[in-house]
Amino acid sequence: MEYIPAKTIVTKNKSSAWFGADYNMNIYRGCCHGCIYCDSRSACYRIEDFDRVRTKENALQIIRDDLRRKVLKGVVATGAMSDPYNPFEQELRLTRNALELLYAFGFGAGLATKSPLVTRDIDVLQDIQTQAPVIIILTITAAETALSKKIEPRVAGSDDRFRAIRALSDRGIYCGLLMMPLLPWITDTEENVLEIVRLAQENGAKFIYPAFGLTLRTGQREHFYSALDQQFPGLKEQYIKRYGDRYSCTSPKAKQLYARFAEACYKLGIRYKMPSIVQDYKRGYEPPQISFF
């Protein structure tokens, strides 16, 4: 494991629109999951050799000092740029120890991951939830494990991730899934979307947040097209013809897919809009209102 220097790790978010997170925390740099669509490998992030995981030096000491200096408590999110439960976490336990620090200092937690290893830390998440909000987000983009293994080759299959949601939900942890990106001509089918919704409800997910398409930019685009040539021959040309060098590549079926998705979520009682998701998992943790009467 290579260690890289860092001055701070827990940073204030400019906006809390993304799942209501007030702070962001990335202990690891790079990711070895190999997902063909990953935006984090884009050149603009300047992460060299993205597939190699590195750890920030003295991470726990820096996180402790960062939290100690925060005047306002809030939800600390991790998983935006690198999965906090990469294979090295099993031994290093840095994410687990960071969660223990969040609990000690009274902060909430927001975890985004593709790994069932998150279930190892249910006990700490339950501790945090006694005093602050917790939300766990597992990314699932393909209902069938065989397809998920093509687009997310070094990640636990979708079936294992659904089981993780079941385990979290059964222990009272607020959790759901990120259904993004849905790849045009690969996973943007009505059958895939509705099966994900069905399995989410069956396994106790409280929410699904979707994106009907993907983003492509320099660095990421080249990697994605190379993966298409290997896994889905001939599809790259279809992408180039329709999207060119565009950043936002919305599914041609986005409108009708969203309508069917929203209808299914509504019937099954699954939240799918960001404001309602944030309101739901933070319910009961709002600061008390001062009354003069």
Q: Where are the domains of the chain?
A: 2-282
pTM score: 0.94
pLDDT tens-place string over residues 17-38: 799 999 999 999 999 999 999 9
Diameter of the chain measured on Cα atoms: 70
CA dist 25 and 16 (Å) reads 14
Write down the pLDDT at residue 286: 75
Average pLDDT, the chain: 94
- Sorted by sequence, the CB contacts under 8 Å of residue 180 that are 6+ apart come out as 139, 141, 209, 210, 211, 214
Q: Are 125 and 104 in contact (CB under 8 A)?
A: no
Residue pLDDT, tens place only, 126-173: 999 999 999 999 999 999 999 999 999 999 999 999 999 999 999 999
Burial of residue 276, with CB atoms counted within 10 A of its CB: 0-12 exposed, 13-18 middle, 19 or more buried: exposed
Average the pLDDT over each of 167-181, 246-260, 274-288 and give the range with the smallest value: 274-288
287 pLDDT higher than 70? no
* Confidence band for 80, pLDDT divided at 50, 70 and 90: confident
pLDDT per residue as tens digits for the range 223-244: 999 999 999 999 999 999 999 9
Asked whether the predicted pLDDT for residue 292 surpasses 70, the reply is: no
Q: Place 288 in a pLDDT band, splitting at 50, 70 and 90.
A: low
Has residue 81 got a pLDDT over 50?
yes
pLDDT at 291: 46
pLDDT for 155 equals 94
Residue 290, pLDDT above cutoff 80: no
Q: CATH assignment of 2-282, given 3.80.30.30, 3.30.450.40, 3.40.50.1580, 3.40.50.300? A: 3.80.30.30
